[in-house]
């Protein structure tokens, strides 16, 4: 079964940059489109963006354009989400998620989530 292991919780200052990782095992990383989503406390789910590890092609939600970078390191089977110019409203649990062997954007496998708290 596909396992997604995310990095630990972070506390960041307003205006700083966060970087969260998600490692895929035990399958070939390039088989998966890796998506990132987030969920603010007590709120619903929001799609942030996606990376295709095979060619590093990315697509981002408009709300995050200019602040977000999603990358994939095929040597470590890890995807990274970087979000800059953090605001208090970026406080959320960030999830990586994927669907094996398909570019369709629904999500069968999820990481455990990483809580990022942005404080002033």
Partner 1 sequence: ENVLTQSPGTLSLSPGERATLSCRASQSVTTYLAWYQQKPGQAPRLLIYGASSRATGIPDRFSGSGSGTDFTLTISRLEPEDFAVYYCQQHGSSPPTFGQGTKLEIK
Q: Give least dist CB 75 to partner 1, A.
A: 26
* Contact between 104 and partner 1 per CB under 8 A: yes
Does 113 bind partner 1 (CB under 8 A)? Our answer is yes
What CA–CA distances, in Å, run from 24 to 10, 62, 63, 91, 94? Answer: 20, 26, 26, 24, 16
Give whole-number Cα distances, 28 to 21, 34, 104, in Å: 17, 12, 18
Instruction: Find the shortest distance in angstroms from Cβ 63 to partner 1.
Output: 9
110 interacts with partner 1 by CB under 8 A: yes
Among 95, 101, 118, 119, which residue interacts with partner 1 (rule: CB under 8 A)?
Answer: 95
Binding mask 31-60 for partner 1 (x = CB under 8 A): ----x--------xxxx-----------x-
Distances (CA, A) of 56 to 44, 72, 77, 96: 28, 6, 13, 16
How many C-beta atoms lie closer than 10 Å to residue 68's C-beta? Answer: 17
At closest approach, how far in Å is the CB of 15 from partner 1? Answer: 26
């Amino acid at each position: 079964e596909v396992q997604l292991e995310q990095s630990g919780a972070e506390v960041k200052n307003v205006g700083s940059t966060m970087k969260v990782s998600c490692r895929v095992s035990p399958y070939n990383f390039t088989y998966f489109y890796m998506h990132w989503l987030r969920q603010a406390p007590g709120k619903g789910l929001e799609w942030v963006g996606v990376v295709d590890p095979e060619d590093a092609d990315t697509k981002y939600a408009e709300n995050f354009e200019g602040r977000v970078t999603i990358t994939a390191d095929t040597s470590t089977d890890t995807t990274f989400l970087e979000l800059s110019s953090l605001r208090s409203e970026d406080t959320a649990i960030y999830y990586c998620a994927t669907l094996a062997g398909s570019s369709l954007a629904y999500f069968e496998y999820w990481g455990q989530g990483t809580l990022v708290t942005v404080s002033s």
